[in-house]
Amino acid sequence: METVRLRKLLSHQQDILSKIALGTPINVILNDICLSIEEIIDDESAKCSILSLKGDQLFHCAAPNIDDKYCQLINGVHIGPSVGSCGTAAYLKSRIIVEDIDNSPLWTDFKELALSFGLKSCWSTPILSTQSNILGTFAIYHTSPKTPSTKDLELIDYFVHFSSIALEKNVESLIVKQLIIDLQQSNEKFKAFTKVMPDLTIIISEEGVYTDIYGSSDELLYSSMCMLINKNVKDVLPKNDALPIMSVIKKTLLTNEVQIFEYQLEVQKGKIIFEGRTAPITHYLPNNPSKRHVVWMARDITLRKQAEKEVERLAFFDPLTNLPNRRMLTERLNMCVERIKRTHKTGALLFLDLDNFKRINDSFGHSAGDELLVDVSKRLNAVTRASDTLARVGGDEFILLLEYVGDDNEQAIIEAEIVAQKIQKIFNVQFEVGRLAFQVSCSIGICLVDNSNSGTDKILKFADSAMYRAKNNGGNRYSFYDPELQTLVEKQTELKNDIVRAIACDEFCAYFQPQISTIGKVIGAEALIRWNHPSKGLIAPNDFIPIAEQYGLMNKLQNIVLHDICVLINRLSAENIIDESFSVSINISHCQFCSSNLKSELINTINDFNIRPSQIKLEITESMLSANIESSTQQMNELKEEGFTFSIDDFGTGYSCLTHLSAFPVNELKIDKSFIDNVLDDGKGFRIVQAIIKLANSLNMSVVAEGVEASEQFEILKAIHIDSIQGYLIAKPMIQNDYVKWHNHNVDFIK
């Protein structure tokens, strides 16, 4: 009997192992294992089941002779310390023998179910992997309570071993299948990614053979992908391109490091700049793992390089003339200074500014001015050496840096003068812009660059000062830097800063000088700016107004004066000591008169104080009117329509175009003090004053005499029919409170 049983066992073993080796489906193998043990074990009522563990749940893999309903009802049971025979065996990783289900505490929750299907005992053995991991359980049920014999347990262990082999191989097979699926998915993703990838990825062998190509279309390749695969770089590319590529491959494999570089190739798309990155790859070919390869990633950076070049151009070059800008000039000047420190040679910096360029811009528009600047830059380039730097640093400002002009200052001065004279000659020929022709000149400031002048900022400042010196001397000339002049400039800058501070600290205010008619009536006043400095006392206008004009501060000062005028008029009106004919004059600077904001600023201020425009008289100079007659007339007419009146200040000292004087809406002429001083000479001075009064009368304008200091002057002015006077004879300019007191006591001034 044992011999027969042994033969059956060997036969089943051979069959099961053969199926495991051939990859028969796991459920078939486990089913055969169950049937085999049921056939060999002594009890014909034995029913076998094999469950696999997934997470902490058990699921039936095979139970050929157990009711399917029972299997379904316990499928997915969670393992634990008291979960029947199988759940407990899997939980404890040890064999659980339950001889009588009805009386077992392990089956408390499941015995009714088991008994209903005629199952009275259950022996369960955990199935372990070679790594001692729980794979599932092997169980034998009986229809009556039963205890296993030693032979039964040996037989169970025998088939549990087969089950372990089958389950473990199945797990490995599932892992392999999943890996294959994952790999296939990964390959599909990689293929999809490389199809849309803008970069090229090329696998090249150490000999230079194209092995694989991934990425963008053929346009970034020397020829099509199919034509390149298995071809050598040296056979495909021109020699001058192939040699550097082979050099990179060699270096990558030699250093075993990533290489990053830029290169240029003529490909199907055209001449392309690439950023290349290479890295070594080992075992790329499964059938030839010893062959070395590199992965070569090529990115088209042509547009980026063009953008960088454009950014550099914008950063270092003037967009209008394509000349170096101030930034590049500063860098070149810094390098020049360092070389001169080492060589003890001498260079020079020439600061050029076009004379009266603003008139061209204002009269003919910025486009005409731009064309002229481009022409100037071309002419300057024609007389500039390759070693020198010509830059445009402002609207009409150019700088020429001569890096070497001599071994000493004496020689350098001579050479710099020669260059300056060459530059001035290029302006002898007229500039043509469209149908217009302009005769333009320039002023040149020259600063030598030597060991004594080695600060970049100072060199530029000194040359700028020298240029202004040339311009102030009439323009169309050159001038070398003068240290004394620079000291004056620095003092002016210091004064400018002090003016800015004083404005913020309310140190400026208006003083008022009264004007009276020839019959002694106070008809108005002139407001004059004064600076009451905390440490220097009262500063005369001539000491700060030119600086305020130069640095664009006059508008702020005149707004202070206008504010004080409005306050004064309101005070006088409140005391009932002025009538509607009373007005206060304010001097309007050239920059303010040319501003498009003048009208709005005047109206906004007087509206804040409820002042009528007719109470404000705007004083302008002759030179302001002659600069641009058309725009001046338009500006004045717009202000006249609002109710403002105009007076021409210092009449006779400037340049008046008498043919246009009648066109301006001027109400009053003010004769300058220089003429009043000579009115008693009964000669030329008297006749000039008389002529001005007659001219004004013919144009229906009133006349004010400024600077009247003697009663004799007043008498003769009355005799030739002057309308009104102002000067020390009446009163000096006064602070507002003093003026109000004076006005109260002199409503009808009689001298």
429/499 same-domain check: no
Residue 525's alpha-carbon distances to 52, 598, 727, 748, 749, in angstroms, are 113, 21, 11, 14, 13
pLDDT of the residue at 186: 64
How long a stretch of residues is the chain? Answer: 751
Lowest mean per-residue pLDDT among 1-15, 81-95, 332-346, 688-702:
1-15
Determine, yes or no, domain membership for 750.
Answer: no
Alpha helices in 41-149 (DSSP H): 68-74, 84-92, 111-116
Determine, yes or no, domain membership for 639.
Answer: yes
As given in the structure block, the two tokens for residue 166 are 């089958």
Determine, yes or no, domain membership for 641.
Answer: yes
Share of the chain above pLDDT 90, in %: 37
DSSP type of residue 351: E
Q: In this predicted model, what pLDDT tens digit does every residue of 437-467 receive, in sequence order?
A: 888 999 999 998 887 766 788 899 899 989 9
Confidence of residue 728 (pLDDT cuts 50, 70, 90): very high
- Of 419, 439, 474, which closes a domain? 474
Lowest mean per-residue pLDDT among 24-38, 165-179, 650-664:
650-664
Q: In this predicted model, what pLDDT tens digit does every residue of 253-302 receive, in sequence order?
A: 999 998 888 888 877 777 878 888 899 988 888 778 788 999 888 888 87
Q: How much is the average pLDDT of 684-694? A: 88
Determine, yes or no, domain membership for 650.
Answer: yes
Distance separating alpha carbons of residues 136 and 133, to the nearest angstrom: 9
Q: How much is the average pLDDT of 722-734? A: 94
The residues near 327 (Cβ < 8 Å, ≥ 6 apart) are: 315, 316
CB 324 within 8 A of CB 390: yes
508/441 same-domain check: no
Whichever domain contains 395, its CATH number is 3.30.70.270
The rounded Cα 381 to chain-centroid distance in angstroms is 32
Considering only CA atoms, which of 503, 515, 472 is closest in space to residue 649? Answer: 515
Q: How much is the average pLDDT of 659-687? A: 84
Considering only CA atoms, which of 608, 610, 627, 616 is closest in space to residue 587? Answer: 616
Determine, yes or no, domain membership for 483.
Answer: no
Q: Identity (one letter) of the amino acid at 462?
A: F
The residues near 517 (Cβ < 8 Å, ≥ 6 apart) are: 523, 723, 724
- Counting other chains too, the contacts that 452-459 makes at CB distance below 8 Å and 24 or more residues apart are 454/337, 454/340, 454/341, 455/337, 456/330, 456/333, 456/334, 456/337, 459/333, 459/337, 459/349
Q: How much is the average pLDDT of 574-587? A: 91
609 versus 172: the higher-pLDDT residue is 609
289/221 same-domain check: yes
**144 has pLDDT over 70:** yes
158/240 same-domain check: no
Q: Identity (one letter) of the amino acid at 184?
A: Q
Q: How much is the average pLDDT of 483-506? A: 81
pLDDT of the residue at 723: 94
231/112 same-domain check: no
As given in the structure block, the two tokens for residue 190 are 């990689």
pLDDT of the residue at 98: 93
Alpha helices in 197-323 (DSSP H): 225-228, 233-236, 239-255, 302-316
- Of 273, 307, 341, which closes a domain? 307
Whichever domain contains 12, its CATH number is 3.30.450.40
pLDDT of the residue at 3: 61
> Which of 52-56, 174-178, 185-189 ranks highest by mean pLDDT?
52-56
Number of domains in the chain: 4
390 versus 297: the higher-pLDDT residue is 390
Tell me the sheet residues that pair with 49.
139
Q: Identity (one letter) of the amino acid at 721?
A: H
Q: In this predicted model, what pLDDT tens digit does every residue of 398-439 receive, in sequence order?
A: 999 998 888 887 788 888 888 999 999 999 988 888 888 888
Average pLDDT over the chain, rounded to an integer: 85
H and E: helices and strands count for the chain: 27, 28
pLDDT of the residue at 10: 64
The rounded Cα 88 to chain-centroid distance in angstroms is 70
68/135 same-domain check: yes
pLDDT of the residue at 198: 65
Q: In this predicted model, what pLDDT tens digit does every residue of 109-139 receive, in sequence order?
A: 998 999 999 999 999 999 888 888 898 899 9
pLDDT of the residue at 727: 94
**CA dihedral over 193, 195, 200, 203, signed as positive or negative:** positive
Determine, yes or no, domain membership for 341.
Answer: yes
Whichever domain contains 233, its CATH number is 3.30.450.20
In this structure, the dihedral spanned by the alpha carbons of residues 155, 160, 166 and 171, taken in order and rounded to 10 degrees, is 180
499/427 same-domain check: no
576 versus 17: the higher-pLDDT residue is 576
Give the count of beta carbons closer than 10 Å to the beta carbon of residue 315: 10
> Terminal CA-to-CA distance of the chain, rounded, Å?
163
- Using CB atoms within 10 Å of the CB of residue 505, give its burial: 0 to 12 exposed, 13 to 18 middle, 19+ buried: exposed
Distance separating alpha carbons of residues 41 and 230, to the nearest angstrom: 66
Max alpha carbon distance in the chain (Å)? Answer: 168
pLDDT of the residue at 1: 40
520/650 same-domain check: yes
Determine, yes or no, domain membership for 189.
Answer: no
pLDDT of the residue at 87: 92
329/243 same-domain check: no
Share of the chain above pLDDT 70, in %: 91
The residues near 538 (Cβ < 8 Å, ≥ 6 apart) are: 530, 531, 532
Alpha helices in 356-482 (DSSP H): 357-364, 366-382, 409-425, 456-472
Confidence of residue 306 (pLDDT cuts 50, 70, 90): confident
Q: How much is the average pLDDT of 713-741? A: 93
Give the count of beta carbons closer than 10 Å to the beta carbon of residue 341: 12
433/535 same-domain check: no
> Which of 351-365, 381-395, 656-670 ranks highest by mean pLDDT?
381-395
The residues near 694 (Cβ < 8 Å, ≥ 6 apart) are: none
**CA dihedral over 33, 35, 38, 39, signed as positive or negative:** negative
Residue 2's alpha-carbon distances to 9, 41, 382, in angstroms, are 10, 11, 119
Q: Which residue has the tokens 């030597």?
A: 450
302/326 same-domain check: no
Distance separating alpha carbons of residues 27 and 20, to the nearest angstrom: 11
Identify the helix (H) or strand (E) that includes residue 50: strand 47-54
Q: In this predicted model, what pLDDT tens digit does every residue of 547-577 receive, in sequence order?
A: 888 788 998 999 999 999 999 999 999 989 8
* Structural domain that includes position 75: 2-175
pLDDT of the residue at 751: 46
Confidence of residue 682 (pLDDT cuts 50, 70, 90): confident
591/657 same-domain check: yes
pLDDT of the residue at 184: 72
Determine, yes or no, domain membership for 99.
Answer: yes
Q: How much is the average pLDDT of 696-705? A: 91
Distance separating alpha carbons of residues 433 and 428, to the nearest angstrom: 16
